[in-house]
């Protein structure tokens, strides 16, 4: 099918930088500029450029393209449009054209409003959605944003969504469009509202655990034992969070020394891998020179440990500290 003049002009312009594109369009009527700009947006939102089509057009304008390509590599079509419209059209016409462009973009890329939403908005919008919908939405997002959203979803939905992503079912464009429409409508309903960001459960429990550390032991045990009758898992989590590896700088030397005696040099070497300077210094200052030498030797010989190996080694240190805390014998540095 022969290319229309409008399509050929748009195809050429998306391969030029904004300054050259603007100069080429300056002599055209505003109505034609609007039509070409919308056509450029259609090319940009389609997600796949027709190389044969572009090659045919570029051959016609090869001299111009050779001059401009070295300057325009990496220039986004969106950036080109914004700069071109601002330099050619008056304010009202530019806004009108941008409105048409948004309609074209959203029509052909119905996930565009979802991609532009914040992580917090998407977490709320996906709440209660079918795992298949969640899987489709996550697969359409950039990797970093999807990674931020996934652990904040309901655990059951998260598990099912991951399975759907691993074993994707064939879906028609119409089905995906309806999924995107549902989530987009929920996002639209958030506009003008102040979103309340819910903290991760572990963050909330950690704060409670720190508060309970300052409570007299008998009262603390009473509160946690009572909680255990209603929610044993949460009670156990709070007890674990009362002493963490990050708390080591706050532990008194004698208590830390007693805990470190039970840990082998190899485990200490792994636990110290990647530890912050204050924590590493605190541990090293509470082991003997002989043990410190053995730890250094182990460190020089070992391969880079896996993350779970580091966590296990640190847990071995903290385990003894937790036992002392349960008994009420753990001493902390006074702040």
Does residue 248 form part of some domain? yes
Place of tokens 């009758």: 229
Does residue 332 form part of some domain? yes
Domain limit, last residue, from 84, 109, 134: 109
pTM for this entry: 0.47
Is residue 276 pLDDT above 90, yes or no? Answer: yes
Query: 172-207 pLDDT, tens per residue?
Result: 888 888 999 999 998 888 876 666 655 556 777 888
Instruction: Kindly report the backbone phi and psi dihedral angles of residue 326, in degrees, each rounded to the nearest multiple of 5, phi listed first.
Output: -65, -35
Residues 33 and 92 in one domain: yes
Query: 62-109 pLDDT, tens per residue?
Result: 544 444 444 444 445 556 566 666 665 667 766 776 666 666 555 556
| pLDDT score for 318 | 95
Residues 19 and 93 in one domain: yes
The rounded distance, in Å, linking the Cα atoms of 11 and 16 is 9
Tokens of 286: 């509470």
**Residues of the domain holding 252:** 244-335
Domain limit, last residue, from 189, 208, 226: 189
Is residue 149 pLDDT above 80, yes or no? Answer: yes
Residues 207 and 174 in one domain: no
Measured at the alpha carbon of residue 208, what is the angle toward residues 203 and 212, in degrees to the nearest 5?
Answer: 145
The rounded distance, in Å, linking the Cα atoms of 182 and 174 is 12
Q: Name the maximum alpha-carbon separation found in the chain.
A: 86
Query: 10-68 pLDDT, tens per residue?
Result: 777 777 666 667 766 766 777 777 778 777 777 766 555 566 676 666 566 554 444 44
| pLDDT score for 196 | 61
Residues 238 and 248 in one domain: no
Does residue 138 form part of some domain? yes
Long-range interactions of 59-64: CB distance < 8 A, separation 24+: 60/8, 61/12, 64/12, 64/16, 64/20
Residues 17 and 94 in one domain: yes
Evaluate whether 217 touches 246 at the Cβ level (below 8 Å).
Answer: no
Q: What is the SS3 assignment for 124? A: helix
Is residue 132 pLDDT above 80, yes or no? Answer: yes
Residues 325 and 258 in one domain: yes
Residues 34 and 101 in one domain: yes
Query: 203-214 pLDDT, tens per residue?
Result: 778 888 888 888
Domain count, the chain: 4
Residues 182 and 209 in one domain: no
Residues 227 and 249 in one domain: no
Domain limit, last residue, from 147, 162, 189: 189
Does residue 194 form part of some domain? no
Query: 216-273 pLDDT, tens per residue?
Result: 889 889 989 988 888 898 889 999 999 999 999 999 999 999 999 989 999 999 999 9
Does residue 311 form part of some domain? yes
| pLDDT score for 167 | 82
Does residue 60 form part of some domain? yes
Residues 278 and 334 in one domain: yes
């Amino acid at each position: 099918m022969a290319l229309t003049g409008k399509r050929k002009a748009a195809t050429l312009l998306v391969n030029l930088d904004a300054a050259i594109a603007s100069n080429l369009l300056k002599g055209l009527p505003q109505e034609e500029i609007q039509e070409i700009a919308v056509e450029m947006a259609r090319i940009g939102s389609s997600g796949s450029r027709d190389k044969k089509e572009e090659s045919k057009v570029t051959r016609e304008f090869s001299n111009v393209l050779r001059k401009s390509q070295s300057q325009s590599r990496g220039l986004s079509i969106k950036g080109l449009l914004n700069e071109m419209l601002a330099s050619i059209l008056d304010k009202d016409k530019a806004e009108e054209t941008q409105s048409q462009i948004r309609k074209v973009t959203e029509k052909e890329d119905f996930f565009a409003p979802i991609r532009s939403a914040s992580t917090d908005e998407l977490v709320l919008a996906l709440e209660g959605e079918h795992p298949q919908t969640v899987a489709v939405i996550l697969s359409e997002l950039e990797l970093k944003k999807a990674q931020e959203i996934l652990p904040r979803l309901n655990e059951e939905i998260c598990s099912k969504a991951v399975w759907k992503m691993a074993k994707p079912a064939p879906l028609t464009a119409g089905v995906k469009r309806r999924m995107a429409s549902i989530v987009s409508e929920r996002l639209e309903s958030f506009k003008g509202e102040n979103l309340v960001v819910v903290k991760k459960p572990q963050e909330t429990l950690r704060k409670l655990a720190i508060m309970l550390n300052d409570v007299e032991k008998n009262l603390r045990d009473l509160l946690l034992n009572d909680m255990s009758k209603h929610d044993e898992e949460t009670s156990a989590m709070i007890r674990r969070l009362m002493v963490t590896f990050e708390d080591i700088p706050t532990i008194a030397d004698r208590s830390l020394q007693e805990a470190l005696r039970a840990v082998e040099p190899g485990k200490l070497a792994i636990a110290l891998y990647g530890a912050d300077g204050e924590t590493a210094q605190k541990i090293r200052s509470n082991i003997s020179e002989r043990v410190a030498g053995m730890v250094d030797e182990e460190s020089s010989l070992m391969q880079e440990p896996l993350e779970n190996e580091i966590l296990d080694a640190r847990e071995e240190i903290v385990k003894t500290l937790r036992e002392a805390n349960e008994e009420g014998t753990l001493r902390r540095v006074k702040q």
